[in-house]
C-alpha cells in the first residue's frame, strides 16, 4: 500500500503526466478496437465490450510501470480491489454507449486519490485526439491514434462567464428530469449533448461552463474530471454544496448528484436553482 507521505505524491504535476501517459496508451487501444460490438450487460445493467477490457488491461500495465505499488480500483474490477489512503481510480472506457453508437466523446479517465480527494487526473479522448491532465496545474495536449503526443502541452484554464450566459453540457444518453430542470434555469436552450468525462475537459479548457448530473454516476466517472477542473480554476460540488469524496465503499463507489462549473459562484447558482432543494 502507498503511504500518505510517499515522495511521489509531492510532485502532483508529475503524477498528472504519468496518468496522462497511461491514459494515452489505453486510449490508443480503444481506437484500435473501434469496431468492437460484442456487448454484454453487467449486473448493474451497464454495457461492457471487449474494448473496455482491452483498455483496462493496457491502462493497468502502464500504471504498474509508471506508478508501481499504487492500488487500482477500476470500473471493470471494482469488486476485487479495495481503496487505501492513496489509490488510483480508473475508467478504461467512459462513455461505452457513445463508443458503441459511433460517437466521438468517449474517453479513458484516471485519477490518483489521496484521503478521499483527487490530487491528479487525466482524460484521454482518442476520437477527438484530446488529452486533459492535471496535478497542481491543468494542461491540454493533442495526441495521435498510436497514443503518441502531438505538439507541446498547453495550460488549461476556465473562462470568464460569457455575457449571454453559460454554455451547458448535458448527458447524451443519461438525461434526467432534475438535471434538465436545473439546466433550463441556467440557460435559454436545452444544453449541448455530450458523453463521458470529456465534459469536464471542455469546461477546464474554456470551451463550456457548466454540467449538472443528478442521475447515477460512479466515482471513476468523475474523479479525473474533478482533479482537472479544480486545477483549471473550476469546481465540482455535490448538490448539498460539498466537495465530492472518493473511495466510499459503503455506497459502492456511487456518487451523489453534482454540478461541475467554471466557478464556485456558477456552481452555487446552479445548486440554488435545483427544484429538489
Whether 276 has a pLDDT exceeding 60, the answer reads no
**Burial (CB count <10 Å: 0-12, 13-18, 19+), residue 265:** exposed
Q: Write 125-128 long-range contacts (CB < 8 A, 24+).
A: 125/27, 125/196, 125/198, 125/201, 126/27, 126/28, 126/30, 126/31, 127/31, 127/103, 128/104, 128/198
Where does 109-172 have alpha helices with state H?
A: none
Question: Using CA atoms, how far apart are residues 203 and 232, in angstroms rounded to an integer?
Answer: 9
Give the tens place of pLDDT for each residue, 109-163. 999 999 999 999 999 999 999 999 999 999 999 999 999 999 999 999 999 999 8
CB 209 within 8 A of CB 267: no
Strand arrangement of the beta sheet that strand 117-125 belongs to: 72-74, 86-94, 107-114, 117-125, 130-134, 138-143, 149-155
Q: What stretch of H or E contains 50? A: helix 50-66
pTM: 0.92
Q: Which domains does the chain have, with CATH numbers?
A: 7-155 (3.30.540.10), 168-272 (3.40.190.80)
Give the tens place of pLDDT for each residue, 220-249. 999 999 999 999 999 999 999 999 999 999
> What are the beta bridge partners of residue 122?
110, 133
Amino acid at each position: 500500500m502507498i503511504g500518505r507521505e510517499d515522495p511521489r505524491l509531492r510532485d502532483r504535476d508529475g503524477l498528472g503526466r504519468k496518468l496522462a501517459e497511461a491514459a494515452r496508451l489505453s486510449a490508443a487501444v480503444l481506437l484500435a478496437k473501434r469496431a468492437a460490438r460484442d456487448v454484454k450487460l453487467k449486473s448493474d445493467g451497464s454495457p461492457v465490450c471487449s474494448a473496455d477490457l482491452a483498455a483496462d488491461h493496457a491502462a493497468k500495465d502502464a500504471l504498474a510501470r509508471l506508478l508501481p505499488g499504487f492500488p487500482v480500483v477500476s470500473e471493470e474490477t471494482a469488486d476485487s480491489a479495495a481503496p487505501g489512503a492513496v489509490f488510483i481510480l480508473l475508467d478504461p472506457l467512459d462513455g461505452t454507449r457513445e463508443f458503441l453508437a459511433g460517437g466521438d466523446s468517449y474517453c479513458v479517465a484516471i485519477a490518483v486519490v489521496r484521503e478521499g480527494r483527487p490530487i491528479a487526473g487525466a482524460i484521454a479522448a482518442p476520437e477527438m485526439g484530446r488529452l486533459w491532465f492535471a496535478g497542481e496545474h491543468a494542461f491540454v495536449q493533442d495526441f495521435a491514434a498510436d497514443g503518441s503526443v502531438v505538439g507541446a502541452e498547453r495550460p488549461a484554464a476556465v473562462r470568464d462567464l460569457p455575457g449571454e450566459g453559460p454554455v451547458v453540457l448535458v448527458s447524451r444518453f443519461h438525461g434526467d428530469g432534475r438535471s434538465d430542470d436545473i439546466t433550463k434555469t441556467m440557460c435559454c436552450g436545452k444544453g449541448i449533448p455530450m458523453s463521458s468525462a470529456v465534459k469536464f475537459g471542455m469546461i477546464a479548457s474554456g470551451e463550456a461552463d457548466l454540467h449538472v448530473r443528478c442521475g447515477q454516476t460512479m466515482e471513476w466517472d468523475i474523479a479525473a474530471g474533478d482533479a482537472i477542473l479544480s486545477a483549471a480554476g473550476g469546481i465540482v460540488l455535490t448538490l448539498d454544496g460539498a466537495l465530492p469524496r472518493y473511495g466510499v465503499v459503503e455506497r459502492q463507489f456511487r456518487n451523489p448528484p453534482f454540478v461541475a462549473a467554471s466557478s464556485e459562484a456558477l456552481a452555487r447558482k446552479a445548486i440554488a436553482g435545483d427544484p429538489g432543494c
